[in-house]
Structure 1
């Protein structure tokens, strides 16, 4: 039996859909039509007005091949109009396998245009992004589609009220933290978080969900971090990314693959500053997929986002870019809040491993 209606009901509830609510719905491929359709029906049942746009990624690829630079960097006018019209926005983003080769410079222009739409979404709507796995993505990373789909539903249809209570407690404990350190055989990064607010993410803004996050002091990030393996951002394949920081700014960036894209992306105003430090807390997420929206929720991972800060955390950095990059510490890395280890030599400690079943 389909579980999409169950997820649709959750989305409508957390976004407070009721009589007269204007709801913008995006689909990034026709493969997510079942998920979107279940949500549209739920909105109608609650008296809302849904409007659906197919923002298909295959057309984004056509733009990369044929559009001028000016057109490529222009935010989609109908997408912007939707964000200005809607009370609520829900985007169903299918996991579409990207092409083998892509022009990193042109992709960075396109991402800047999409960033303007993202900013309007943040500013004007209650919103949720849903990252929907696909058989093609499962095959690409060498896992079972059945297993990946089961993991998706286990991590989206969770006991979110219990998660929220536990993550509220964790954020209160982290609130006094001055310095966070990420350490591994290839990483030694220090982030000053003094006075910044930690916030929980428990099933409202992103699905799959489950993390706590803050905004480091803008000039308070120093050291070196390496992200081994391969991941994708906006269709660009990036392998072996390394970043050096001094006084909060990326001073050098290197990658085995995708280096041109990274360099161009960092030229976006505000993109060299860390806007977010996040810690994955979802125990149902275990498979590292290379997709950042899923991987950042995995218990045992930590992530930084270059670019736009969360204002509710006290962050001041403004940018069209918000680029989450995930570091998996389960292979031996450590995460410390001041002198308190949260992850120690690859082991998640009780301070971070919470009981999400309690009520």
Structure 2
């Protein structure tokens, strides 16, 4: 295994030169915590080499606790000046998830609502500008003790897991991701020739249509790691029921065994084996009772559940659907402050149908699509 500094240099080169393809004179905004300082330093060096300019916002360990204790609704609704300007004007954005603690208590519902309402215009701008890549963005993870503990791994094991999923063990990670792009493009081309889809396994049978929608090849340029193909289904076309085997995590809370019943695009009923109150609270938010995404994970290097959706939604052999916000680049029209992915296992007899034909079985695309 290479020294971690060498991995971080490869990580930064991949993020700057492939994920956001930074060009001379472009501005890159990086948002993270002080735990990610080693990666931020590497990103700064790569930004300079690319001829760009980097600005950064780093959260310290005590900020969240201070806001919970002392923050007023007006302070929770305050929009950070640099972040707002970056979402409005900058050419590139990298969010590096590097949490101190995944078990901090939530602010009160009133404070969360104040922040959600205030941040919605910036949220909408972000989705609009990332849809046409006026804002090139990437989301990634810097391994921290909290993430390792959450995943049930040692720090060393978790770091190796993250780097392997991002293909940093490859001599040329960018070339490896270009290979992913080529393979997934064959799948996407076929999916975009079809309009009717069905996810079927022993606990789910859900179908939707994609007239006027586009399947997207997620090849590592907007998330790192990636490895999925996704679309936004026609909002009123989703019908059936689906069970999500993997825990759905929202605001640090695990919601296990989620079952949804859907009619004409609207989620009619929902239940969870644990965490029902989180579902109830979420489905009271505007736009959350329709689906913003349907997707298929293709990253077989992600071989275990880590409780981090950036990785878990890409697990090879799974499908996922997200309630809430659609992707404009896929043609989606649902609007919400929430985009919550939920994952179903397809490795034990699961099938995906496209225009009535089996294209995916037991966790893999058929050979003619996946070679």
State TM-score, norm by structure 1.
0.87
Shift of 1:119: 3.3
Is contact 2:102-2:146 (8 Å) kept? Answer: no
What CA distance in whole angstroms lies between the structure 1 residues aligned with 2:273 and 2:116?
21
Matches within 5 A, 1:1-359: 1=3, 2=5, 3-14=7-18, 15-27=20-32, 29-55=33-59, 59-60=63-64, 62-64=66-68, 66-69=70-73, 71-72=75-76, 75-94=79-98, 96-99=100-103, 102=106, 105=109, 109=113, 110=115, 116-124=121-129, 125-157=135-167, 158=173, 159-344=176-361, 346-351=362-367, 354-355=370-371
Alpha-carbon distance in structure 2 between the residues aligned to 1:139 and 1:352: 40
Residue 330 and residue 290 in structure 1: after superposition, are their counterparts in 2 closer, same or farther (change >3 A)? farther
Q: How far apart, in 2, do the equivalents of 1:107 and 1:256 lie?
A: 28
Whole-Å separation in 1 of the counterparts to 2:153 and 2:16: 31
Per-residue CA distance 1:310-341 (angstroms, 9 max, x = gap): 22222122222222222222244333323333
RMSD: 2.7
Aligned to 1:226, what secondary structure does the other structure show? strand
Mapped partners of 1:18, 1:119: distance in 2: 25
Structure 1 residues 336 and 92: alpha-carbon distance in aligned structure 2, compared to 1, 3 A threshold: same
SS at match of 1:139: helix
Partners of 2:206 and 2:242 within 8 A in 1? yes
**CA separation in 1, counterparts of 2:316 and 2:369?**
8
Q: Is the 8 A contact 1:91 1:128 kept in 2?
A: yes
3-state secondary structure, aligned to 1:26 = strand
Count, aligned residues: 353
Q: 1:237 to 1:65 in 2, by over 3 A?
A: farther
> Which ranges of structure 2 fall in alignment gaps of 5 or more residues?
130-134, 168-172
Deviation string 1:264-297 (CA, Å, 9 cap, x unpaired) is 2223322211111111111211111121111111
In 1, the alpha carbon distance for the partners of 2:65 and 2:196 equals 42
How big is the shift at 1:151? Answer: 2.9
Q: Which runs of 4+ in 1 moved over 6 A?
A: none
Query: Per-residue displacement from partner, 1:243-271 (whole Å, max 9, x unpaired)?
Result: 22111111222223333333222233222
- What is the deviation of 1:61? 5.0
Distance between the aligned counterparts of 2:149 and 2:38, measured in 1? 21
Change (3 A) 1:140 1:312: closer
Return closer, same or farther for 1:94/1:340 CA change in 2, 3 Å cut-off.
Answer: farther
For 2:369 and 2:308, the matched residues in 1 are separated by: 23
Quote the offset at 1:115 in angstroms.
Answer: 5.4
